[in-house]
Homo-oligomer: A and B are copies of this chain.
Amino acid sequence: MVDGAIDADREGRDVADPTVPGFWAVVPAGGAGTRLWPLSRSSSPKFLHDLTGHGRTLLEQTHDRLAPLVEDRFLVVTGRVHADAVRAQLPDLAADAVLAEPTPRDSMAAIGLAAAVLERRADETGEDIVMGSFAADHVITDPSAFHRTVVEAVAAAREDWLVTIGIQPTFPSSAFGYVRQGEALAGHERARVVAAFVEKPSVSVAEDYLATGEYRWNAGMFVVRPRVLLELLATESPAFAACLREIAADPDRLDHLWPTLPKIAIDHAVAEPAASAGRVATVPGSFGWDDVGDFDSLAAMLGDEGKITVLGDDDLVLSQQSTGLVVPAAGRVIAVIGLDDVIVVDTPDGLLVASRERAQEVKAIVAELKDQGRTELT
């Protein structure tokens, strides 16, 4: 689907040259995705897997989607243990395009490090850099609409807003945070000021949000000038921002300084306080988006109701009177009989059989395996 959309752009549907000068993609590639065990592991996280059956991993799809906008202005921030896997999947990346974190320190440290590197680069080259951070493990189903949204976000970012992309909700999810839109941003087509970020609500509160038409899902996509991001961070935590800039100035200090950084999400560290200060804008994203949080959402994304969906080789799966999702990732024949809304994920060393409804409880299984010291399986 990504390929199709890129072709559409090449055909000049509404963007003759889709590249956005000075725009850099920052892709934090972290998180184990334990709710997708046994496919996703800490040794082989979600972003390294093809979860849509299109023959490209989520990381590769993220790159495919952004490359028309940024060409080679691309940074991946990932754990040191995953750096080789990232380079193997994206072999065209420049040597310095992978920023390797010694240990996971959440999204503020990861995105902040990229911001510090890009701020320095802007100073050195005189480029007017705007960065956009996009998780490596999300699925987006309409890249053309995504591109249009990003272009609008970059325009707002050039006026020193921290810009978040607000996804049009399709159901009252209790799994996502929301953005409440405020007044329109003068001189922009669709951008609005962000009145507030709100934490994951209950389903009934989410229903109320949707009824107002003023709320959008916070997908954690931020578009901003690197300096603006670091200055907003410095307002809250001067030492944090200073430390990131110190690492960017002298990468040899990374191992020494990294462990001292706070473990905090960018939403809490910067986006929420900046919204309170009236510094955050949002541009609506009307493209399909999913963070593929667990096998239930993967089944919903891939599935035809009323049948078995196979992610992988169809020939390996035989079913009778069943519905759900089967992932035959171990190459074995799988027979499924008389089960509705079932999840079967078959890997060489671990097998998950679950109801869609309770698929997210696989987290507890992973925790149990860790407790038992069977970390090779987690």
Contact = CB atoms under 8 A, between A and B. Distances in A.
Interface residues of A, number: 35
Interface in A311-336: 318, 320-321, 332-336
A358 B321 contact: yes
Which of A338, A342, A365 has its CB near the most chain B CB atoms (within 10 A)?
A338
Nearest to A358: B338
Contacts of A350: 332-335
A351 B333 contact: yes
A364 interface: yes
A333 B364 contact: no
Contacts of A337: 352-355, 358-359, 361-362, 365
A335 B359 CA distance: 11
Given A364-B320, A365-B320, A335 B352 contact: yes
Contacts of A354: 335-339
A322 to B, nearest CB: 8
A368 interface: yes
B361 A318 contact: no
A365 B335 contact: yes
Contacts of A92: none
A126 to B, nearest CB: 55
Interface of A: 37-38, 318, 320-321, 332-339, 342, 344, 346, 348-355, 357-359, 361-362, 364-365, 368-369, 374, 377
27 contacts: A37-B335, A318-B365, A318-B368, A320-B358, A320-B361, A320-B364, A332-B349, A333-B350, A333-B374, A334-B351, A334-B352, A334-B353, A335-B354, A336-B354, A337-B353, A337-B354, A337-B359, A337-B361, A337-B365, A338-B354, A338-B355, A338-B359, A339-B339, A342-B353, A344-B351, A344-B353, A351-B351
Given A332-B351, A335-B353, A339-B353, 20 more contacts: A37-B335, A38-B333, A318-B369, A320-B361, A320-B365, A321-B361, A332-B348, A332-B349, A332-B350, A333-B349, A333-B351, A333-B369, A334-B351, A335-B350, A335-B352, A337-B353, A337-B354, A337-B362, A338-B357, A342-B353
